[in-house]
């Protein structure tokens, strides 16, 4: 299961699972048609592909979890789920598959600053124990992840991420409107 850019992270696993002889059912989704990624690539490595869009602009209207629920209710045999996408999606998948006793892995992507676990930014609680997504993961057993703490920790960075994005946009816009430097102007005129 891939939600948004999570599809890109799910693709190599789907490909490897198919290559070793597994039956692969893929569910991918996005908020709208433009945000559905790698559909044709996933079709190449999957036995079946379902596509959902939150707004109904493409394929089935709804969430990827709606399609998973349908498959479970229809009696489709599912031995394992890999869910990669937004935290609320992965949490909903974990809640759904826990009840059905379906092994479920999630790929967590909290803030990672140094990639060594020393900064602690990517700390997650797994069965009450601190783990670091950058060195201990990023894949974890979804039924053992404390999603409430993960949501809380990620929210700590929301304001800083928003400011960083605004600063970046401002910087890009400033560069667009700034007069070219003399060196750039000369290069543009073919002189130097």
Give the model confidence (pLDDT) of 115-147 as tens digits.
888 888 889 999 999 999 999 999 999 999 999
Fold of 1-107: Rossmann fold (3.40.50)
Dihedral angle of Cα 103, 101, 69, 51, to the nearest 10 degrees: 10
Domain ranges of the chain: 1-107, 108-136+143-156, 161-192
Average pLDDT taken over every residue of the chain: 92
Average pLDDT over residues 105-122: 88
pLDDT bin (cut points 50, 70, 90) of residue 19 is: very high
Q: What average pLDDT does range 158-163 have in this prediction?
A: 88
pTM of this structure:
0.83
- Give the pLDDT of residue 186: 59
| Burial (0-12, 13-18, 19+ Cβ within 10 Å), 84 | buried
Assess whether the previous peptide bond of 138 is cis (omega < 30° from 0).
Answer: yes
């Amino acid at each position: 299961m891939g939600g948004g850019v999570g599809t890109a992270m799910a693709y190599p696993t789907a490909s490897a699972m198919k290559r070793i002889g597994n039956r692969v059912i893929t569910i991918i989704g996005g908020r709208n048609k433009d945000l559905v990624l790698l559909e044709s690539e996933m079709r190449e490595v999957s036995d079946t592909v379902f596509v959902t869009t939150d707004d109904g602009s493409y394929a089935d209207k709804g969430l990827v979890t709606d399609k998973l629920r349908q498959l479970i209710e229809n009696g489709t045999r599912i031995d394992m789920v890999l869910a990669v996408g937004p935290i609320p999606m992965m949490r909903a998948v974990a809640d759904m598959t826990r009840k059905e006793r379906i092994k479920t892995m999630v790929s967590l992507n909290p803030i990672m600053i140094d990639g060594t676990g020393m900064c602690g930014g990517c700390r997650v609680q797994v069965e009450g124990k601190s783990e670091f997504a950058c060195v201990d993961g990023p894949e974890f057993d979804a039924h053992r992840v404390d999603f409430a703490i993960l949501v809380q920790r990620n929210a700590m960075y929301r304001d800083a991420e928003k400011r960083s994005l605004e600063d970046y946009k401002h910087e890009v816009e400033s560069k667009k409107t700034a007069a070219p430097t003399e060196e750039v102007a000369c290069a543009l005129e073919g002189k130097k």
